[in-house]
Structure 1
């Protein structure tokens, strides 16, 4: 039997193999995860709800099935966490808000049903920025989530608890949601892998909305291979989601490990590589060098009107968010985080013609990204232009960002692909001198997640970052 630390730091793929070969017990591993959460989470604050009796019952059922030869696949018996705005039948789903502090849905979200069919164990509900409306992760009725690499720093949001729980080895994977970067930002800040899939590839049925046409659901894991395994279970047409894509499914892991020689990687430098923290820039230079050494062809590309796209994304986001919450704001004006409420009310400032113009600009954005992705196979960018700030910090020391709320510097490089719906993968690229993780982002053509995983895996292997030791509160190094 493996020791507790070694057991919990296994990748999802590794623990799945041990379960399939009956070398590890899902019951024992889940029990150790619950002990780990009890030990670590009071400091990090990633979890909102855990039903230990239910969790252990699911683990026992999975173990019995595996022992009986009814193995369901790589998620069977594996503990997965859920962002706390993904509905779970008979388990609280709070949205990070006091308005829903005791809300218990009557249904499971479609993604939860898929996880259950695959034999996964739902280990608990994970903290989120209130109603997912913020990329900092420090505004929730349950309090801020703390970064496992430095407890004074923010995790990023809004999938804050999901990133921290995976990063600190409290589960083997988690689901997050992403409207302007809410999977990829906390993935970058917490040193894990996060995928925002193609819009419509993963069902949003049973997931509390922020923006109907910008929201995505996706996987968060410690490795690229794990991420592909989790996404594979989540994908597929869902008639309950009006935005769901009816496309032929593929094995998104099929290209992992294949050579990337000759693959063209584009650098859209006019927007994505300006105003970067110096260590983020150095990290990207290292990532570019690794891809070159692996045989990729690096080319510069141009997306002409990207600044305009970023502004149009804001118009749609604030308008949709206000529409989602308008009646709730009127009925319960005092039950909001002040910052979230203030941001919601900016939706009143948007004029109808501005929303219509934003929809037209979205079409232009899709065309310009498509043109760039005809020249190259993928785009490579930083995930976030800055390092993780202190919890409750609202300004950064890069001059061009000082006159705006910190949210816009955090979301700057992730929001454009919520606008276009293109798949985007964030993975760790290095750690800064102070130990904080830095992330790189790969952007692909619609439904080209398999290629992103192929290149992401090559980059992951080439960078060969050493795993952290997870001594809570201590800064980590490569």
Structure 2
């Protein structure tokens, strides 16, 4: 029998459309795994068993009546807990919001529901999206299914842990300075940060308003494409929303990448762990064998990214959380307090200098994209570290190491897609990211699909199931 827990959404969709698989059967299977595995993995803060079964039954009834809505109809989806869900507890990973029940849905939640998706539950996350390690001292840190002694990455920690352990088919995430891509790299899944404004952030708790991006996380490239089609679109309730023509991201997904020009900035070759460096060099060689033209290039403006990213993130996050920090400082974990306190101490002059650096970075990448189609680098310079007994210190260390690799895409608003590139000797996944100019998601997905076909991640989820869970 097909292993439903690790079957991609686009394959499950065909089975459901052809009435070979019942949405109720699929949802019951996933809920069973959640009941069995979540106490150990801690991916879900709020499983929604009754609601999920009701949604699955409604989807099945519609499909049997000939009202099939498309490839998400009846597909189980996990929702990151900073997406507001009407009548359902939404904590943003913090006990400060432990009893908060919104009276609206985030726009993306409504879009997924309109496509017939089944919401399995609300996923764990680093509090307020402020971090890349995935620690949560309030509700417990999710575990990395590849090795439960290691962190999953964050802030979309529950999203990736659910996917890598077969407790969700697809999931939502958010990415302010790498929160989709770093955990995707640490757990061997695919994480997309779309162009800023392509996906509405209305109804999502903000981290840093000028950087926040909502996007999908999945176990395959076609699943990312399906999710992005449902998530993207103009939203008048989001001031940053882009009013652009909708795309069919599945169309042309198998395009040939022969002749595609890929640039590897020198910036992304610095400070790599030896195992990540070795895997990355091997990945570059494979891309060249596939017909891509890969060359190193110098983009000096990338050196401005750590300063601009830290000052922008800390300043904007501090502004949003000012009242909460003032009234309930004890509710914020130590690493989040450090970030927010730094933002409160930053001057207007520092913020302005950061925006000037940001403008230069935009210009530098615009110039680079006149020479190459895509930029490439490791998603993170390390694989997932072991879970530390000092989570605050570890969280700050992971931010310091990984933010320089991911934040350039956030600062410039360009899309970036993390893909699995291989395993280190410890059996932990490493990731690399493709970055393109604004609204080049289709190109990035095509490149990622071609890469996916090479099968570089030899250890598949079924083996993970047998050996680890």
User: TM-score band, normalised by the shorter chain?
Assistant: over 0.9
Where in structure 1 do 4 or more consecutive aligned residues deviate above 6 Å? Answer: none
Query: Does the CA-based 8 Å contact 2:152-2:187 persist in structure 1?
Result: yes
**Alpha-carbon offset, residue 342 of structure 1:** 2.3
Distance 1:140 1:200, change over 3 A: farther
User: Is 1:386–2:382 an aligned residue pair?
Assistant: yes
Matches within 5 A, 1:345-424: 345-392=341-388, 405-424=397-416
Write the distance in 2 (CA, Å) between the matches of 1:79 and 1:136. Answer: 26
Query: Does the CA-based 8 Å contact 1:150-1:473 persist in structure 2?
Result: no
Show the counterpart of 1:398: none
User: Is 1:338–2:310 an aligned residue pair?
Assistant: no
What SS class does the counterpart of residue 462 from structure 2 fall into?
coil
Write the distance in 2 (CA, Å) between the matches of 1:409 and 1:45. Answer: 25
Show the counterpart of 2:109: 112
Show the counterpart of 2:182: 185
Show the counterpart of 2:422: 430
Show the counterpart of 2:440: 448
**Which residue of 296, 305, 328 maps to 2:292?**
296
**Which residue of 260, 263, 268 maps to 1:263?**
260
Q: How many residues align?
A: 466
Query: Does the CA-based 8 Å contact 1:127-1:162 persist in structure 2?
Result: yes
**Which residue of 75, 84, 89 maps to 1:92?**
89
**Alpha-carbon offset, residue 329 of structure 1:** 1.0
Write the distance in 2 (CA, Å) between the matches of 1:263 and 1:393. Answer: 45
**Alpha-carbon offset, residue 338 of structure 1:** 2.1
Could you tell me the TM-score, scaled by structure 1's length?
Answer: 0.95
Cα-to-partner distance string for 1:255-296 (whole Å, 9 max, x where unaligned): 311111111011102x10111111111111121112111111
Cα-to-partner distance string for 1:53-88 (whole Å, 9 max, x where unaligned): 111000000011111110100000001111101000
**Alpha-carbon offset, residue 471 of structure 1:** 4.8
Show the counterpart of 1:276: 272
Query: Does the CA-based 8 Å contact 1:149-1:472 persist in structure 2?
Result: no
What SS class does the counterpart of residue 311 from structure 1 fall into?
helix
Distance 1:464 1:386, change over 3 A: closer
Show the counterpart of 1:195: 192
Show the counterpart of 1:314: 310
Write the distance in 1 (CA, Å) between the matches of 2:212 and 2:137. Answer: 19
Could you tell me the TM-score, scaled by structure 2's length?
Answer: 0.96
Matches within 5 A, 1:145-294: 145-269=142-266, 271-294=267-290
Write the distance in 1 (CA, Å) between the matches of 2:414 and 2:466. Answer: 36
**Alpha-carbon offset, residue 140 of structure 1:** 4.2
Write the distance in 2 (CA, Å) between the matches of 1:394 and 1:185. Answer: 20
What SS class does the counterpart of residue 170 from structure 1 fall into?
coil
What SS class does the counterpart of residue 412 from structure 1 fall into?
helix
Write the distance in 1 (CA, Å) between the matches of 2:390 and 2:239. Answer: 37
Cα-to-partner distance string for 1:169-222 (whole Å, 9 max, x where unaligned): 111100000111000000000100000000000000000001000100000000
Structure 2 unmatched ranges of 5 or more: none
Structure 1 unmatched ranges of 5 or more: 396-400
**Alpha-carbon offset, residue 468 of structure 1:** 2.7
Distance 1:286 1:475, change over 3 A: farther
Write the distance in 1 (CA, Å) between the matches of 2:297 and 2:110. Answer: 41
> What root-mean-square deviation, in Å, do the aligned CA atoms of Structure 1 and Structure 2 show?
1.7
Write the distance in 2 (CA, Å) between the matches of 1:287 and 1:256. Answer: 20
